[in-house]
Amino acid sequence: MDPSPTATTNEQQQQSQQLPYQAGDIATILPSNPAHLVSRFLSVLPPSIQSIADTPIRIHQRKTKSHSNFQASSLNHPWPERCTLRGLLTHCADIQSLPEREDLYSLNVYCNQNHPQGKDQRDKLISLSETSGAALYGDYIIREKRNWVDLFYDFDAVRWEGSGTSGDVALMTISHLLTILPSIAPRHFSIASSPSYMVRQTAALESKEGFDVELCVAIVDHILERNGAVYIAGGSKMARAVREEIVEALGSVLEGGEGDAKKLLNKLKRKGMFSIEAWS
């Protein structure tokens, strides 16, 4: 049975009292990685690291010039002092991101040379990281959208520990792994509708007229994270209002604000990925 407008209004008023906000406020979200992806990433790490995935560990952060990657990631979201590796990979490490060229270079030193393709894999990582290999990097990482899980899967010399009889051990330790991995950065989104707007519009739920909740978080993620296209069709007033909301939402997360947001939409328009079809 559908809730009555009065019941819905009371529920929304209670929610707004618990978490007050206004249109234009910024909502900050810290994403996490799905369990299946974390398990897959653990499966492509050296067995010695896999074996302690659920063992509590203590992390001591050392900020030195030789650990610039670690410093940069710590500024976004510091590794917790106490956790399990599985928990860290779930809530802190950005294993879904695309590795940068310097990340590929950092990884090459952990290719075990006793692996049948160890030297070739090390040389390929170096080639991918060099300026002269920009096109190769673009094809391998950017175009194919390979993340950290894919990278470790492809370069299995990093996790290789031999047959078990040769005494070989993986060159990468858990400390090395935490030095290389980037951390998850918070996502900032603009809130388009205030609780008071929601309450005023509740009465229109029955007829579906005039009730419109702007999903700015979804739009920003669709454009910036998923490289998605946006097409707007409808009345001119509606189309203009939707475009303004998108500009505001993007402007809240882009460094150049709404100016950069408008430039981005113009760029998408030239690529056929942003279009408005409006009529009076």
pLDDT digits (tens, 9 = 90+) for 110-142: 999 999 999 999 999 999 999 888 899 999 999
pLDDT the model gives residue 23: 66
pLDDT the model gives residue 68: 44
Which residues, 6 or more positions from 54, have their beta carbon under 8 angstroms from its beta carbon? 84, 85, 86
195, 15 Cβ separation under 8 angstroms = yes
Strand partners, 187: 29
pLDDT the model gives residue 193: 58
Q: End-to-end alpha-carbon separation of the chain, Å?
A: 38
pLDDT the model gives residue 217: 67
pLDDT the model gives residue 195: 59
Q: What is the number of H-type helices and E-type strands within the chain?
A: 14, 6
Give 189 or 117, the one with higher predicted confidence.
117
Residue 232, φ and ψ in degrees, nearest 5: -115, 130
Mean pLDDT of 10-21: 51
pLDDT the model gives residue 225: 81
pLDDT the model gives residue 214: 45
Task: Indicate the pTM of the whole model.
Answer: 0.61
**Cα–Cα distance, 179 to 172 (Å, whole number):** 11
| pLDDT higher than threshold 90 for residue 100 | yes
Which residues, 6 or more positions from 106, have their beta carbon under 8 angstroms from its beta carbon? 69, 179, 180
4, 205 Cβ separation under 8 angstroms = no
Among 81-90, 134-143, 247-256, the minimum mean pLDDT is found in: 247-256
The two tokens of residue 115 are 């692996």
**Cα–Cα distance, 81 to 180 (Å, whole number):** 17
**Cα–Cα distance, 108 to 129 (Å, whole number):** 10
- Dihedral in degrees, nearest 10, Cα atoms 216, 181, 183, 60: 170
Strand partners, 93: 183
pLDDT the model gives residue 227: 81
Strands (E), the chain: 26-29, 57-58, 82-83, 187-190, 230-235, 274-279
Q: Which candidate, 15, 27, 28, 25, places its Cα nearest to that of 195?
A: 15
| pLDDT higher than threshold 70 for residue 88 | yes
| pLDDT higher than threshold 80 for residue 234 | no
Mean pLDDT of 249-256: 86
The residue assigned the tokens 């950069």 is 260
